[in-house]
Chain A
Amino acid sequence: MDQLLQHLLNGLLLGATYSLLGIGLTLVFGLMSVVNFAHGEFYTLGAYAAFAALTLASVHFFLAIPLAIVAGAAAGAICERVLLRPLRGQSIDTVMLVMIGVWIAMQNAELLGWGGVAKSVPTPFPTQPLVLGPVSVAPLRVFVFVVSGGLILGAHLLLARTRLGRAMRATFQDRETAALMGVSIERIHTVTFAFGAGLAAAAGALLGPVFLLYPSMGDLASLKAFSVVILGGLGNFAGAALGGIVLGVAEELGAGYVSSGYRDAVGFLMIVAVLLLRPSGLFARAERVG
């Protein structure tokens, strides 16, 4: 029983980070139809930005994270403005390939700049784990969980309650009408992409201290993000949030009780199952998937 509880806790913590990765991508992929293979690279960028702030500029830990988010959002905005906007009318495959190029370029630039040696991020949290009955957890991970939750909530509020959020939703539901209503479509695209990149960077800045920093850390993040997006349904914000948790718990239980070698297969099989049985996502209302 203790084992099960620990597995569940692990899964929950892991899932929260997957959620954070997923909601950024679901907006970009689901609403802008951009297959953003560079999503993981904004995650990496956020992690290295936080690291740079902490070690080079001696910024306080709690300030480094917002800085990383800003860096990620800015990079996203530039990327959208410079690369995506001129290619607006192009096929989804061309755009996807451009993002693949960005992925390769960013990762290798990071390799060139920081070197391949993994870096660890100093944190102000004690390393002694908190003991909650039969399970234990590091204080840092609790912090990450709480902040992730806060960011997800904040993003949801931004989308649902603010004017900007309304404009974003309107643009992706019906461009022409939104434009007629005075929404600047170009600006919304830039903002949406920056938003997604910023969330990815946030995930990177939060997870960097939990794990380690190395240039290819974003590859796995990208893959998990795409999985979460499908589980939750394209463009479905709440779905991605919940889907992340589901994926995390499923992976933990699969690795714990079935086989650790096939751990990632759990995620894949879940996706296959969802796609075949409920393609619009576990949490979506029925919609066309064709």
Chain B
Amino acid sequence: MSAIARGLGLLIVATAPAWVWNPYHLHTLIMAGIFAVLALSLNLLLGYTGQLSLGHAAFFGIGAYATGLLTVKLEWSPWIGLLAAIVLPGAAGYVIGRLALKLRGAYFVLLTISFAGCVSLVSVNWMDLTNGPLGLPGVPPLEIALPGLPVLSLRTKSAFYYVVVAAVALCYLVCLALVRSRVGRALVALRENETLAASIGIDGTHYLVLAAVVSAAMAGFGGGLYAHYTRFVSPEVFLFTYTVTMVIMVVAGGKGTLAGPVVGAVLFTVLPEALRAATSWQWQMLLYGILLVGVLFFMPEGIVPALRGLGPAARRRWSPS
């Protein structure tokens, strides 16, 4: 792709708040960005190790609650909350990874679902900790408070848009670095043929745990962003629909690629809103389901690989982008 087109694209993304005058659309883009972070995180597991986590909403939710609780109940700085939103889910990811040890495929899926189910129930029932179904309203917005300078509040949409763009770029780069490194090659080797990989000394469990930790930490980061944007955290963050949405974004976007989850996130955040604008409420979800089936039917590898002209017969290389 020519440098001019690339530059133009970057310019469009970078200046969006200036010309997207409708705050509702900016809101949609911000949500798309948050989901892009989530999709990228799920892609690490699903696309690169081949293991599907259907409990990813759990890491998202733990991140949201981590920062929500610290900033609302203890009144700590949101940046510390955000840090906790990365570390705590990462630790949970470590636990899951180690627990899973020898589990693969469907068994791993069920383990992640069960984990998410348990965490969800805890958030609803452990009233003293999480406020239960009442949720945590009043989560403070992010702000930059450097000594000597006036406080720069990041509560406005335009400001938060840039936070999200920076977050997506950061996560993208992390994924890129991981995938291009030795770790990345090992992950792909595991995905393609674990027995063979083991025979040349690649320890499947070790790399799976690593992928799980990074993936969970990133999803938690997304949860933290969500908490400071919507400023309300409730047990609904653990809803299965969030996980399903993430999976849709990754698989329909193109798993195993790095652009796929981002494209998927934008498309499947914009799509429900487009349907909201285009049709009355009775038809929205029905059309959504039909469109989903349609997209996969005609582009089973995902949108990004289809755009690149890779057919189902082509072997999927591990090269990013």
Contacts and interface: CB of A to CB of B under 8 A. Distances in A.
A259 B122 CA distance: 12
Contacts of B121: 261-262, 264-265, 268
Interface string A56-77: 0000000000000000000000
Contact of B300 (A87, A111, A112): A87
Contacts of B217: none
Contact of A101 (B125, B283, B290): B290
B143 interface: no
Interface string A245-267: 00000000000000101101101
A97 B111 contact: no
A290 B194 contact: yes
Interface in B292-321: 292-293, 296-297, 300-301, 312
Contacts of A89: 312
Given A93-B251, A259-B125, A265-B117, A100 B292 contact: yes
Interface string B150-185: 000000000000000000000000000000000000
B244 interface: yes
A15 interface: no
Interface stretch (B7-15, B31-39, B99-107): B99-107
Given A261-B124, A272-B111, A272-B114, A101 B293 contact: yes
Contact of A104 (B103, B247, B252, B292): B292
A234 B108 CA distance: 13
Contacts of A107: 285, 289
A98 B52 CA distance: 15
B115 interface: yes
A279 B109 CA distance: 12
Interface residues of A, number: 46
B104 A97 contact: no
B3 interface: no
B22 interface: no
Tell me the dominant secondary structure on chain B's binding face: helix
Nearest to A260: B125
A226 interface: yes
B191 to A, nearest CB: 11
B292 A226 contact: no
A237 interface: no
Contact of B285 (A94, A108, A219, A289): A108
Contact of B110 (A105, A226, A269): A226
A271 interface: yes
A38 B289 CA distance: 12
A35 B252 contact: no
Nearest to B113: A226
B65 to A, nearest CB: 17
A261 B126 CA distance: 10
B107 A230 contact: yes
A275 B109 contact: no
Most central of B106, B111, B240 by chain A CB within 10 Å: B106
A5 to B, nearest CB: 27
B312 A279 contact: no
A262 B125 contact: yes
Interface in A96-145: 96-98, 100-109, 111-112
Contacts of B301: 94
A13 to B, nearest CB: 23
A290 B102 contact: yes
B288 interface: yes
B46 A93 contact: yes
A97 B296 contact: yes
Given A87-B300, A93-B255, A104-B288, A35 B109 contact: yes
A193 interface: no
B207 to A, nearest CB: 14
B292 A269 contact: no
A179 interface: no
A271 B114 contact: yes
A102 B294 CA distance: 10
Contact of B105 (A112, A227, A264, A290): A290
A234 B111 contact: no
A276 interface: yes
A186 to B, nearest CB: 18
Interface string B251-274: 110010000000000000000000
A86 interface: yes
A106 B293 CA distance: 12
Most central of B110, B111, B251 by chain A CB within 10 Å: B110
B282 interface: yes
Given A102-B293, A234-B106, A264-B117, A112 B286 contact: yes
Nearest to B117: A268
Nearest to B291: A101
B80 interface: no
A101 B287 CA distance: 10
A276 B99 contact: yes
B144 interface: no
Contacts of B289: 101-108
A108 B286 CA distance: 5
Interface of A: 29, 35, 83, 86-87, 89-91, 93-94, 96-98, 100-109, 111-112, 219, 223, 226-227, 230, 234, 259, 261-262, 264-265, 267-269, 271-272, 275-276, 279, 289-290
19 contacts: A29-B106, A35-B109, A87-B300, A90-B312, A93-B46, A93-B251, A94-B300, A98-B293, A101-B296, A103-B289, A106-B289, A109-B286, A234-B106, A268-B115, A271-B110, A271-B114, A275-B107, A290-B104, A290-B194
